[in-house]
Amino acid sequence: MIKYVHSDIRGPLYAKAMEMQAQGRDVLKLNTGNPAAFGFGLPDSIKRALEGHLEEGVGYCDFKGMPAAREAVCDYERNKGIRGITPDDVFIGNGVSEVVSFALQPLLDRGDEVLVPAPSYSIWGNSAYLASGRPVFYTCDEQSGWYPDIRDIRSKITERTRAIVVINPNNPTGVLYPKEILEEIVEAAREYGLLVFADEIYDRLVMDGLTHISLASLAEDIPVVTMNGLSKSHCLCGYRCGWMVISGPRELTEDYRQGIIQLTSLRLCANTLGQMVIPDAIEDMETPASMVRPGGRIYEQREAGLTGSSRTISVS
Ligand SMILES: Cc1ncc(COP(=O)(O)O)c(C=O)c1O
């Protein structure tokens, strides 16, 4: 299946950029959302969380993740309205990327299909191939505010469809989905018995007074795997810190959960230093909030992008 795996921004464009850089040309890399490369530093809360605790991360930890981290994630996701979960439903990984790479494997048999948004964040479609499946792309239509086209989604569901991926807020479109759109997707998943993967890594970077709704909070009766992490909210991409939370009726999720247990235990554990900062990061909602309010770096960059203004944005 590796022959189908392809990503322009992680493949040919990246290779070209490296080539140009080797020739001494200055290359601005927008292929990866890597805040540190643009001057976003380590938040004080994270610095404090690590101070004096480095010894605690020396050994392997539980393959699901460190207990304090799983408890903090569980509280966070419960506060987002996801009901019926315990820390046992939380699996910490080396970034959302790693949990995505596990996520499809227990679910797919050869040729099974996963509905994936287009335009897309490339790891999802490629992970479907790597799990012996096939991504089927549904349209997020620019003419409709980049919202997922529910009719297109429904028209692409076949007897091989196993799951639907929802990235909200979306990368690359940047759009936040309203409750009605999420409910329509949940309804289709319910009707056809699909598992929903909700990639919500940008949920704390929402602007303009809007509120992010966790898809799983609208879908207590169906299996949902919610993904999130600290790469964007706390600019900690390099710490490789992400998680997945399995929610929904236990009888529908048990086999899947066992598959995830096998995969995560085979790789022993996720990076412990990243996990050690999770409780403090989740406590520190000021860091993401400060970036997306007026005067904050991300807010001001968005404004500059929209208005074409060239005023200087200070790096803080
Ligand atoms: C939608 C989406 N999901 C997942 C990831 C991967 O994040 P991580 O650094 O946690 O692996 C990204 C990174 O840009 C992303 O945009």
| CA 87 to centroid of ligand 1, rounded, Å | 22
Q: Write down the pLDDT at residue 311.
A: 53
Taking CA atoms only, the protein residue closest to ligand 1 atom 14 is: 33
**What is the residue type of 65?**
G
Q: Is the peptide bond before 119 cis (omega within 30 degrees of 0)?
A: yes
Span of 125-134, 204-213, 300-309 with lowest mean pLDDT: 300-309
Q: Write down the pLDDT at residue 308.
A: 75
| CA 169 to centroid of ligand 1, rounded, Å | 12
**What are the structural domains, with CATH classification, of the chain?**
1-32 (no CATH), 47-281 (3.40.640.10)
| CA 114 to centroid of ligand 1, rounded, Å | 18
Q: Which residue has the tokens 């690359």?
A: 172
Sheet containing strand 134-141, strands side by side: 90-94, 241-247, 224-229, 195-199, 161-167, 113-118, 134-141, 147-148
Q: Return all residues near 231 (Cβ < 8 A) that are at least 6 apart.
A: 33, 95, 96, 201, 237, 239, 241, 242
Taking CA atoms only, the protein residue closest to ligand 1 atom 16 is: 171
> Within the chain, what is the greatest distance between any pair of CA atoms?
58
Ligand 1 atom nearest the C-alpha of 229 is 10
Ligand 1 atom nearest the C-alpha of 172 is 16
Q: Return all residues near 253 (Cβ < 8 A) that are at least 6 apart.
A: 223, 246, 247
Three-class SS state of 46: helix
What are the φ and ψ backbone dihedral angles of 186, each rounded to 5 degrees? -60, -40
Q: State what percent of residues in the chain have pLDDT above 70.
A: 97
Ligand 1 atom nearest the C-alpha of 230 is 10
Could you give the residue ranges of the DSSP H alpha helices within the chain? 12-22, 44-50, 67-79, 95-103, 122-130, 150-155, 179-192, 250-266, 272-276, 278-283, 286-292, 297-307
Whether the predicted pLDDT of 315 surpasses 60 = no
Instruction: Say if strands 134-141 and 113-118 run parallel, antiparallel, or are unpaired.
Output: parallel
Whether the predicted pLDDT of 54 surpasses 60 = yes
Q: State what percent of residues in the chain have pLDDT above 90.
A: 87
Model confidence over 158-172: pLDDT tens digits?
Answer: 999 999 999 999 999
Judge if the beta carbon of residue 201 lies within 6 A of ligand 1: yes
In contact, 226 and 205? CB cutoff 8 Å:
no
Q: Which of 286 and 28 is assigned the larger pLDDT?
A: 286
Q: Pick from 127, 146, 171, 275 the residue to mutate for probing ligand 1's pocket: most ligand atoms within 8 Å of its CB.
A: 171
From the list 181, 187, 206, 185, the residue with the least C-alpha distance to 197 is 185
Total residue length of the chain? 316
